Amino acid sequence: MSEVIIKVDDLYKKYRQGGNDLQILKGISFEVKPAERIAIVGLSGSGKSTLLHLLAGLDKPDAGTVTIQGENIQQLVEKELCRLRNQSLGFIYQFHHLLAEFSALENTAMPLLIGGMKKSTAMTEASELLEKVGLGGRLKHRPGQMSGGERQRVAIARALVAKPACVLADEPTGNLDEETAAQVDELMLDLSRQLQTSFIVVTHNLKLAARMDKVFELHNGRLERRPLVASHSDDADAAEMMVRLDSDSAIGATKPSGKGLFNQ
Ligand SMILES: Nc1ncnc2c1ncn2[C@@H]1O[C@H](COP(=O)(O)OP(=O)(O)O)[C@@H](O)[C@H]1O
Ligand SMILES: [Mg+2]
């Protein structure tokens, strides 16, 4: 396995809107190592989804490169890019994007079937993973027959089933109530450890962000590293870890930092 799973080098992206250029990303560079978990926070509209799209090769940067497991994705033709996405990346979105006509089992097995795996093997692997995410009793359920939290668990199983090197998650718990979101977050963290999968998670959930290995804030088109401050108390509230935004204040604290995420 290569030492670096994803290498992002000096990415720029602008959108042309009503005759004006909206410069969204202004030189983004970072690396994701095997099993590393990275959180990206930032104001709505700061370009987080744009960045994930570029990482997945779903859109092209104006400048800069994205290298996934040693392959510069800009140099791949669409077919190769699809293969790379299928083998190396998993995706979790805010809305589950499960296929309504298919069961939890079929939805989970989909990346394996697309990757050419024999159906019976794919179903066995998918059911094992659904068991792991606590849905062993929901294999035949369709998305419409499951709760929001259950649907996101299926989405997580689908993202991980092909054993990707890295999962890209765009506000994966943004559509869930707080308690369900906490359970789903726990599951993602747990599986990333068990399966040694790298994660890049865009999130507004600062408790989740603080439990990742690194936190970046996307601010004015640049990624700025935010240090983590952890409390080691066992008490759940007191143990809430915080992401420090600057030397005076912390995410999760009441005092705004005066810039970036809390300047809204
Ligand atoms: N296809 C597009 N054309 C024009 N502007 C876009 C397009 N996609 C996103 N934008 C703009 O780019 C900015 C960043 O969008 P996005 O990456 O979705 O932000 P975030 O995910 O951080 O909320 C927003 O201001 C949005 O309006
Ligand atoms: Mg977004």
Structural domains in the chain, sorted by start = 6-102+152-262 (3.40.50.300)
Tokens standing for residue 220: 């004015």
pLDDT tens string for the chain (264 positions)?
558 999 999 999 999 988 899 999 999 999 999 999 999 999 999 999 999 999 999 999 999 999 999 999 999 999 999 999 999 999 999 888 999 999 999 999 999 999 999 999 999 999 999 999 999 999 999 999 999 999 999 999 999 999 999 999 999 998 899 999 999 999 999 999 999 999 999 998 888 999 999 999 999 999 999 987 654 444 444 334 456 554 333 443 333 333 444 333
Which strand ranges, in their side-by-side order, compose the sheet holding 6-17? 20-32, 6-17, 63-68, 71-72
For residue 20 and ligand 1, the question of a CB distance below 6 A is answered with no
CA of 220 to the centre of ligand 2 (A): 15
**Which pLDDT belongs to residue 237?**
45
pLDDT at 46: 96
Whether the CB-CB separation of 6 and 168 falls below 8 Å is answered with no
Question: Other C-beta atoms within 10 Å of 74: how many?
Answer: 14
Token pair, residue 42, equals: 């930032």
Q: Which residues pair with 13 in a beta bridge?
A: 25
Q: What pTM did the predictor assign?
A: 0.88
**49 Cα–ligand 2 center, Å:** 4
- Kindly state if the Cβ of 24 falls inside 6 Å of ligand 1: yes
Whether 191 contacts 181, CB under 8 Å: no
In the reported structure, the alpha carbon of residue 48 is separated from the centroid of ligand 2 by a whole-number distance in angstroms of 5
Task: Report which ligand 1 atom has the smallest distance to the Cα of 43.
Answer: 22
**23: β partners:** 14
Ligand nearest to the CA of 53: 1
User: Encoding tokens for residue 79?
Assistant: 């077919």
User: Per DSSP, what are the bridge partners of residue 215?
Assistant: 39, 226
Strand partners, 31: 7
The atom of ligand 1 lying closest to the CA of 52 is 17
Pocket flag, ligand 1, residue 42 (CB < 6 Å):
yes
Closest Cα to atom 27 of ligand 1: 45
How far lies 71's CA from each of 4, 19, 48, 75, 90, in Å? 11, 35, 23, 8, 17
Verify whether ligand 1 is closer than 6 Å to residue 45 (CB atom).
yes
Cα 207 to Cα 105: distance, rounded to the nearest angstrom: 31
Q: What separation, in Å, do the N-terminal and C-terminal C-alpha atoms of the chain show? A: 42
Phi-psi region of 174 (alpha: psi -120 to 50; beta: other; left: phi over 0): alpha
- Residue 42, pLDDT score: 95
Residues with CB under 5 A from ligand 2 (ion): 49
Nearest protein Cα to ligand 1, atom 7: 15
